[in-house]
Amino acid sequence: MAKLYFYYASMNAGKSTNLLQADFNYRERGMATMLWTAALDTRSEGRIRSRIGLEAAAHRYTPGTDLWAETLARHDVEKLACVLVDEAQFLTAKQVWQCARLADAAGIPVLCYGLRTDFRGDLFPGSAVLLGIADALVELKGVCHCGRKATMNLRVDAQGAAVRAGAQTEVGGNERYVALCRRHFSEAIGRAGG
């Protein structure tokens, strides 16, 4: 039976690298895959890129993309062994359920990779649904500057100071976000005292 997987972590924990490795493993065995990434991330230009230099072409999804229909159209042409979704935190609830349907009704495993929480420590909508319905949850480990497991994503300004307010989504990399353990995240945003 195919399953819906959610691989989640803080930023800089290797989510895209892990996805690209899984894609390589399928393709090395002669199996077809379909890769998706968020159109919202304008840096990607239709590619999934890892910080260590790996990359692959991917289909881009927006909130209006019907992942069920588009994936099945491809599956009708070339039998898919797996669907891999990067930046899964940006999926809508409807799209997460479409991914679940691909696993349940079409028998195609779906591997989603994304952030669990935003820069305030709040769940992303797509991540919340994935945490609720995925068959398997896998935490990938990032590292805080103190050596503890990084679970939080701190947004910083140009001077490196913590940003405490703003839109949930702001595209950026190391120049805008720092992965921290909960203790150092709490201290940085002023939640250490409760």
Rounded CA-CA distance 180/6 in Å is 21
Tens digit of each residue's pLDDT, the chain (194 residues): 899 999 999 988 999 999 999 999 999 999 999 999 999 876 667 889 888 888 899 999 999 999 999 999 999 999 999 999 999 999 999 999 999 999 999 999 999 999 999 888 899 999 999 999 999 999 999 999 999 999 998 887 777 777 776 666 666 555 678 899 999 998 888 865 55
Catalytic (active site) residue 87: yes
Predicted local distance difference test score (pLDDT) of residue 175? 63
- E-strand stretches of the chain: 4-9, 32-38, 47-49, 55-57, 59-61, 80-85, 110-115, 136-139, 142-143, 149-150, 152-155, 177-180
**Domain extent listing, the chain:** 4-141
Query: How many beta carbons lie within 10 A of that of residue 139, not counting itself?
Result: 14
Choose the catalytic residue: 28, 45, 78, 87.
87
User: What integer pLDDT is reported at residue 160 of this predicted model?
Assistant: 73
Query: Does the global pTM surpass 0.85?
Result: yes
Residue 171: what pLDDT?
Answer: 64
At the topology level of CATH, where does 4-141 sit? Rossmann fold (3.40.50)
